Amino acid sequence: MIVAGNWKMYGGPDPAALAERLADVPGVDAIVCPPYVSLARCVAAGLTTFAQNVHWENEGAYTGEISPSMLLGLGVAGSLVGHSERRQYFGETDSDVARRAQAALEAGLGVIACVGETQEQRDAGDMETVLRIQVEAIGAACGAHERLVLAYEPVWAIGTGRTATPEMAQQAHALVKSLLDRPVLYGGSVKPDNADELMAQPDVDGALVGGASLDIESFAAICQAASLS
């Protein structure tokens, strides 16, 4: 089981204190995805550290971006790509996400590639079509790479307090795995009180945690739930 904490544009908990707390939770691969300014501190604390995004070029005139080689130089293990907030607020396309994932994997990083539908797409009955397009773009660029993990995050459940039911999550995860045979994490308002049910589903391989990852005890409780699943 894998549990990744996406700190977004928040300072997050003290990395050393978090690392000490997670040492008491065996049997789960815990990952933190802090802002760029905290990457080195998280690596130094011994946490498995992913960036929140990565560019497809190793260098160049790409203001505001960071390259795979720069992340590797910091000791970072991987990166998120394609988070819905990147797609929504910064116009990232399926092609952009695939290029970022491919470049990161080729450089030796791990990747958590995010996919998911909006409420409007689900209401229109387009959930399966949206997921198919997104996953197939990643699969065409990367294949079933051993360092690739996918994350299903229904956009309507991110930061809203709404969560897909375990049955809804299982349905989406089974579809994603039928398209690309890699582990799939669930993301979307994961909390200690719903983590058990979500991660008990046969095709849910862990969680991508947002707000709850900013609190050490909440994140540790989700990791504990994963370790028992």
CA separation for the pair 68, 48 (Å, rounded):
16
List the pLDDT tens digit at each of the 229 positions of the chain.
999 999 999 999 999 999 999 998 999 999 999 999 999 999 999 999 999 999 999 999 999 999 999 999 999 999 999 999 999 999 999 999 999 999 999 999 999 999 999 989 988 999 999 999 999 999 999 999 999 999 999 988 877 777 789 999 999 999 999 999 999 999 988 999 999 999 999 999 999 999 999 999 999 999 999 999 8
Helix and strand numbers (H, E) in the chain are: 10, 8
Of the CA atoms within 13 Å of residue 203, those in its CB half-sphere come to 19
The DSSP annotation for the chain comes to -EEEEE-TTS--S-HHHHHHHHTT--S-EEEEE--GGGHHHHHHTT-EEEES---SSSSSS-TT---HHHHHHHT--EEEE--HHHHHHH---HHHHHHHHHHHHHHT-EEEEEE---HHHHHTT-HHHHHHHHHHHHHHHH-S-TTEEEEE--GGGSSSS----HHHHHHHHHHHHHHS-S-EEEESS--HHHHHHHHTSTT--EEEESGGGGSHHHHHHHHHHHHH-
Q: What is the CATH number of domain 2-228?
A: 3.20.20.70
Given 92, 117, 153, 173, which residue is catalytic? 153
CA separation for the pair 200, 196 (Å, rounded):
6
Given 83, 85, 117, 173, which residue is catalytic? 83
Please confirm, yes or no, whether 57 is among the known catalytic residues: no
Amino acid occupying residue 85: E
Predicted model pTM: 0.96
pLDDT of 189:
86
Q: Where are the domains of the chain?
A: 2-228
pLDDT of 156:
82
Please confirm, yes or no, whether 145 is among the known catalytic residues: no
3-state secondary structure of 78: strand
pLDDT of 207:
97
